[in-house]
């Protein structure tokens, strides 16, 4: 019984007209308020993503510059490694 009801529901959904599911941009009215709002939403998300990627990239540049200017711990600039042993 449960399989039969599931099959009927899937059949009804497949046979339903797709016109009510289409948005204004897909249906053909690209000058409607819904299409304009969707375009602004896409633009807003694009700005957020670009800002986040820029911040992440600048953080890694900051870390790389800081690592390049900091001295290595435990190493002296004048000291050279010696392989000889003290006698």
Write the pLDDT tens digit of every residue in 51-74: 999 999 999 999 999 998 887 776
Asked if the structure places residue 60 within a domain, the reply is yes
Predicted structure pTM score: 0.49
CA distances to 44, 49, 66 from 53, rounded to whole Å, are 14, 6, 20
In a domain, 61, yes or no: yes
Asked if residue 58 belongs to a domain, the reply is yes
Q: How far is CA 70 from the centre of its chain?
A: 32
| Per-residue model confidence (pLDDT) at position 75 | 59
Residue 29 domain flag: yes
Residue 14 lies in a domain: no
Asked if pLDDT for residue 82 goes beyond 70, the answer is no
Residue 3 lies in a domain: no
Question: Can you say how many angstroms the Cα of residue 74 is from the centroid of all Cα atoms in its chain?
Answer: 40
Contact criterion met (CB below 8 Å) for 25 and 35: yes
**Based on the structure, what is the number of domains in the chain?**
1
Identify whether 51 is part of a domain: yes
């Amino acid at each position: 019984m449960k399989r039969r009801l599931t099959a009927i529901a899937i059949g009804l959904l497949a046979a339903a007209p797709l016109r009510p599911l289409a948005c204004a941009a897909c249906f053909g009215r690209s000058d409607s308020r819904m299409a304009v709002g969707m375009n602004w939403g896409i633009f807003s998300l694009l700005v957020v993503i670009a800002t986040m990627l820029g911040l992440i990239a600048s953080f890694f540049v900051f870390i790389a510059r800081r690592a390049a200017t900091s001295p290595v711990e435990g190493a002296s600039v004048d000291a050279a490694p010696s392989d000889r042993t003290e006698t």
